[in-house]
Amino acid sequence: MLPAQDARHATYQPLPAAGQAPPADVAATLQQRIDALRQTYQQQNLTASETADVEVLLRAVELALQQNLFYSSKDIATATDLLDRARSRLELLLAGDRGIKLLQLAGEVLDKPQAVAGGFVSDIDDSVQPYGLVIPAGWSSDDGKPRRLDVWLHGRGDSHTELQFLRTRLKSTGPITPPDTFVLHPFGRHCNAFKFAGERDVYEAIAHVAQQFAIDPQRISIRGFSMGGAGCWHLAVHHPSFWFAANPGAGFADTVQYQGWDKKPAFQMTDFQKQLLNWYDCPPWAGNLSNTQVIAYSGEVDKQKLAADVMWDASQQHGIQWPYVIGAGMGHKIDPASAQQMDQQLQAWAEQEPAKVPTVDFTTYTLRYPRCHWLTIEGMQQHWQAARVQGKVEGGVIQLQTEGVTHLAIDLPAGALPAERDAITIRINGEGVAAPDAVADQSYHCDLIRVSEGWAVAGNPDRSLRKRPGLQGPIDDALTQRFVFVRPSRPCWHGQVERWATAEYEYAVERWKRVMRGEVREVLDRNLSEATIRDSNLILFGDPRANRVLAGMLNRLPLKWDRDRLEVNGQTYDASRHAAVMVFPNPLNPERYVVLNSGHTFRDFSNVSNSRQIPMLPDWAVLDVAQGANALLPGEVKAAGFFNEQWE
């Protein structure tokens, strides 16, 4: 591992991997075709969702052209093929076809599994993101039978961007084709182990497919291998009740052990960075696997066997055991016998009838992940420390046990409580709470809040300024939701800060485009609309002189910033060389974030491994920007920390 100084200033491989541009005449022809096809559908007044299955093919080729992501002559042939397919889909679209008809499925009833690929419009940034789907044999367009859905997460491929992904997904049914089962292959923003925007894309892809095909919501599994195995572990422990089963193979489950930093750290990790490991490190969340079914795989001699071994040990500490399949003599590969064993086990679990009201035992470290089955943790005593809720329903009694929880919501489906009873008893931490009555054949909702005397029913959800689901930080969380970059219309007070803020804006835009494979929605500060304030997190760059939006809300943010001084958390800094980086509820719309001077906080140092793509800054920081940014941090961190649960 590199010493700390080298980690900051070393040069790291680009992500995606550096490719080449095609010959100039080929590039010109491809771009002309893209422009002509896009112009044709743009003239038809069609919505973005209607054209997504065309645009996803055009965008894949265009991104490869813009970012020089051609790696062989085969990629040129792929680009031509995708544009041919786009033209065919456009012809269908103009003829009035919509939805699955654009995927050009073969035959009335499929006699074998068929691979197709499409696109959906991301709510985060309006980019069209690709996905692959394997449709099972026996399916037909008029078949409304709800089927199981397996979500398969792909491995890392630095040169496997949209172009190559779509080629594979259009030609191959992939490593799994369970009978009578749809298999979804999310792109997941390329190479982030299905974290951050990649995580959001998995769920948006599922929702998109469920709109077009009959999917059984009780029988959705998460599976994957290598980087996909890492993604599988994290999605399983964070959203355990969403999946009837999880089937991770290889990958990684934490950062420090996987990177070997427990023996030789790459840099000196701060206390807040150690706390932030609890976002995506899976072992602390292992107890949540009691809320789903797990069967894991490792090759016997695969160095990535560490992931399942670590999770096995962590699960054992909670009294949880799951089938662990080890491929005899296997390296980084799944052998046929192991694959068959896992498929058989998943099929057996899929055939089981799910419980109407499952018992819940759920732990979270952040309200980014608040829910399991019918219980939602709406408030915590302290973020990044464990908050736990256990719950079960017996007759008309709801039994709850909590640790580190301040706000809790119950949402039981209709029929979960006895029809003949309207009086409900809630017992929480051994004490009875006066609960609202149930209404026969209706769902049951109750908000609970911890007060000085104990727990009580809340008449209305607590919307005070506090950390709550989707509004809890840290900085990187703001880019897992819909956001807009707000450009300053004037220069900063000081040249050093101006140069730094301009460079950080450009870096954040480029980083989003390349690493997160997205499109940055941008607006000039003086052109910010009420609709954008209502719908988007605001990512503001510059100081209060440069950015009018920042200046307008400054007296409602927890800092003071003028030409001479920047004051944060009671400390004062020279404004000529310091800048604030921060996430906070937007004073113009407290349901959304405002962020100061930051895109994602993991930088080029993280390109080496997805396990390094971890938040590097907490809720707020003060940076000395005189030396500029480096591969690890955007500047010298003079102070940093988390806001408390009341955003103080």
| CATH code of the domain in which 144 resides | 3.40.50.1820
- Residue 330 contacts residue 305 (beta carbons within 8 Å): no
Q: What is the pLDDT of residue 357?
A: 95
Regarding whether 443 and 480 lie in a shared domain, the answer is: no
Does any domain span residue 336? yes
Amino acid at 216: D
The neighbouring-strand residues paired with 335 are none
Q: Which of 457, 492, 526 is the last residue of a domain?
A: 457
Q: Which of 158, 126, 127, 44 is nearest to 92 (CA)?
A: 44
3-class SS at 249?
strand
Q: Which pLDDT score is estimated for 142?
A: 86
For residues 240 and 177, state if they share a domain: yes
- Domain assignment present for residue 581? The answer is yes
593, part of any domain:
yes
Nearest CA to 95 among 130, 44, 48? 44
The helix (run of H) or strand (run of E) holding residue 279 is: helix 271-280
Q: What is the DSSP string of 65-119?
A: HHTT-B-SHHHHHHHHHHHHHHHHHHHHHHTT--GGGGG---SSB-SS-EEEEEE
- Residues in the chain predicted with pLDDT less than 50, given as ranges, are 1-3
Together in a domain, 500 and 589: yes
Query: Would you state the pLDDT for residue 2?
Result: 38
* Residue 538 belongs to a domain: yes
Judgement on whether residues 222 and 332 belong to the same structural domain of the protein: yes
pLDDT of residue 417: 85
In this structure, the answer to whether residues 289 and 330 fall within a common structural domain is: yes
Considering the domain architecture, whether residues 442 and 533 belong to the same structural domain is answered as no
Q: 397 and 509 share a domain?
A: no
Q: Say what the pTM is.
A: 0.97
Q: Which of 343, 374, 353, 391 is nearest to 221 (CA)?
A: 343
d(CA 388, CA 372): 11
Residue 440 one-letter amino acid:
A
Q: Is residue 64 part of a domain?
A: no
> CA-CA distances (angstroms) from residue 43 to 32, 39, 82?
17, 6, 21
The dihedrals phi and psi of 540, each to the nearest 5 degrees, come to: -95, 135
Name the token pair of 365. Answer: 């470290």
Residue 447: C-alpha distances to residues 155, 281, 377, 411 (Å): 41, 30, 10, 9
Contacts of 415 (CB under 8 A, 6+ apart): 356, 441
Are both 240 and 320 inside the same structural domain?
yes
- Count of domains forming the chain: 3
- Residue 27 in any domain: the answer is no
In Å, how far are 180, 279, 430 from 214, measured between CA atoms?
12, 33, 43
Q: Please state the length of the chain.
A: 648
408 and 543 assigned to the same domain: no
Do 280 and 140 have their domain in common?
yes
pLDDT the model gives residue 65 = 98
Is 441 within a domain?
yes
- At 376 the three-state DSSP class reads strand
Residue 523: domain span: 475-641
Cα four-point dihedral sign 320, 325, 328, 331: negative
Task: Identify the pLDDT of residue 462.
Answer: 84
Instruction: Give the 3-state secondary structure percentages of the chain, helix then strand then coil, rounded to 5.
Output: 35, 25, 40
Phi-psi region of 516 (alpha: psi -120 to 50; beta: other; left: phi over 0): alpha
Say how far residue 633 (Cα) sits from the centre of its chain: 22
What is the distance between the alpha carbons of residues 193 and 602, in angstroms, rounded to a whole number? Answer: 14
H or E stretch at 62: helix 48-66
- Outline where 461-556 has alpha helix (H): 495-514, 530-535, 548-553
- Cα 437 from chain centroid (whole Å): 37
Contact 241, 329 (CB under 8 A): no
Per-residue model confidence (pLDDT) at position 423? 81
Q: Is the CB of residue 172 less than 8 Å from the CB of residue 183?
A: no
409 DSSP β-pair partners: 376, 447
User: Residue written as tokens 């500029």?
Assistant: 628
Rounded CA separation 36/462 (Å): 52
User: Is 246 in the same domain as 110?
Assistant: yes
| Inside any domain, residue 399 | yes
Of 186, 288, 193, nearest in space to 246 by CA: 288
Phi-psi region of 476 (alpha: psi -120 to 50; beta: other; left: phi over 0): alpha
Which strands, in side-by-side order, build the sheet including 444-451? Answer: 371-372, 375-380, 405-412, 444-451, 454-457
| Residue 248 sits in the same domain as residue 278 | yes
Check residue 3 and give its pLDDT: 46
Q: Tell me the C-alpha distance between 27 and 18, whole Å.
A: 17
C-alpha neighbours within 13 Å on the C-beta side of residue 41: 27
